[in-house]
Structure 1
Amino acid sequence: MIALVLAAAMPLTFAAPASAQDKHVPKAQAWAEKTLREWMKDPVVIAAVKAQNVKHADLSQDKIDALDKQWRAETKASAKPLINEVMGNVLSAFLKKKEAEGKGLVTEIFVMDNKGLNVGQSDVTSDYWQGDEAKWQKTFSVGPTAVFVDKVDKDESTQKFQTQVSISIVDGGAVIGAVTVGLDVEMLMDM
């Protein structure tokens, strides 16, 4: 009898965190619509994404996979030519400035091209190709008004709870890329 009561109560125990997880979504969506969309209209963002789309127009999936493998290896290596190229560009400098202006709310920013490859970022990501992940698939592939808010996770490096919000980057009504921003959930909920 006790086992049946406990078994019946278990789904309720697991359901509570899931509903608590969703409380951040409206605030993250509102922040993305008000702030992030404006940031992504900047000519620095548009020019960088468009240039990389041209540069990578003929990239095969094999080459994308090779670049991603190179990036992952460079995160642990002393020589980092691909990472340094991306981290040293004008767009990355712009994104680092935006992260700093966030005063702790913004934990990371990275912009992706029309293949899901990093164009610029405020901090080094663990991989170069985001095209196989929801952050790119649920924005770039959806359309110009897409907003995707991911679940809350504990960031191991900062020990803070964060979520990622992603939107499509648009130029002249056409989707040219996507952006993902990490947000500190506690700060977000206090807004």
Structure 2
Amino acid sequence: MKFLIKAMTVAVAMFVLAPGAKANDFEPQIKAFYESTVKAWLSDPAVIAAIKAQNGETSGYDAAKIDTLDKQWRAEAKAGGGDLVNKVAGNSLSAWLKGKKDEAGGKIAEIFVMDAKGLNVGMSDTTSDYMQGDEGKHQKTFGAGADAVFIDEVEFDESSGAFQSQLSATVSDGGSPIGAITVGVNVEKL
């Protein structure tokens, strides 16, 4: 079984990295997955309520406060937990996201939701950093407005041991962007 899994991983790697292969070769399948699964999550009351609540807490955070929290998160993530990581990992949105990941049958490597600042609101798995606002997953969705979707390149994710592409989308409430979601799609399972 391990040999079969390794062989499949090598085959996908050869396809993804083959001359002429583009980073978006899986984009049609990822878009279909977005339409059939992820899009409905964007308007789910659990997602909307959690983002709005956190936006109320973080709206006044300046760059120095966010940097301090991000450094705290990185240290806690390396240590396997701490007050900030555990607060996010233990909230009801994180439990909901873990359930969605489990229901996907291996198609999802990770899911996390960000607030208007790009800070983690909920997650299926601990992220390496707390602040996503300086990355394309937040800038090309929340920063681009309502209905924005961004599909990143396929990359090998060492933590999951799989090739994945991050699918990100703006979360809006009443047509106004309030946050974003990122889903790490395991392209080997599409």
Measured against the shorter chain, the TM-score band is 0.7 to 0.9
Tell me whether 1:63 sits opposite 2:65 in the alignment. yes
Aligned with 1:168 (options 153, 167, 170): 170
Unaligned runs of 5+ in 2: 1-16
Once residues 80 and 18 of structure 1 are traced to their aligned partners in structure 2, the CA distance between those partners, rounded to angstroms, is 45
What does residue 104 of structure 2 align with? 102
Matched-pair contact (CA < 8 Å) for 2:98–2:124: yes
Matched-pair contact (CA < 8 Å) for 2:73–2:129: yes
Once residues 180 and 18 of structure 1 are traced to their aligned partners in structure 2, the CA distance between those partners, rounded to angstroms, is 27
What does residue 134 of structure 1 align with? 136
What does residue 43 of structure 2 align with? 41
Once residues 145 and 103 of structure 2 are traced to their aligned partners in structure 1, the CA distance between those partners, rounded to angstroms, is 28
The residue type equivalent to 1:96 in the other structure is K
From the CA coordinates, give the structure whose radius of gyration is larger.
1
Unaligned runs of 5+ in 1: 1-14
Pick which of 91-100 and 148-157 moved more.
148-157
Once residues 152 and 115 of structure 2 are traced to their aligned partners in structure 1, the CA distance between those partners, rounded to angstroms, is 20
What does residue 83 of structure 2 align with? 81
Matched-pair contact (CA < 8 Å) for 1:53–1:113: yes
Aligned pair in 2 of structure 1 residues 45, 79: CA closer, same or farther (>3 Å)? closer
The size of the alignment, in residue pairs, is 174
What does residue 118 of structure 2 align with? 116
- 2:153 partner SS: coil
Once residues 113 and 74 of structure 2 are traced to their aligned partners in structure 1, the CA distance between those partners, rounded to angstroms, is 17
The residue type equivalent to 1:129 in the other structure is M
- CA-CA distance at 1:78 after TM superposition: 5.8
TM-score (normalised: structure 1): 0.87
- 2:150 partner SS: strand
Once residues 22 and 136 of structure 2 are traced to their aligned partners in structure 1, the CA distance between those partners, rounded to angstroms, is 21
What does residue 153 of structure 1 align with? 155
What does residue 3 of structure 2 align with? none
TM-score (normalised: structure 2): 0.87
Percent of aligned positions that are identical: 55
Residues 41-100 of structure 1: CA distance to partner in whole angstroms, max 9, x if unpaired? 111110000000011111001100110000001112365000000000000000000000
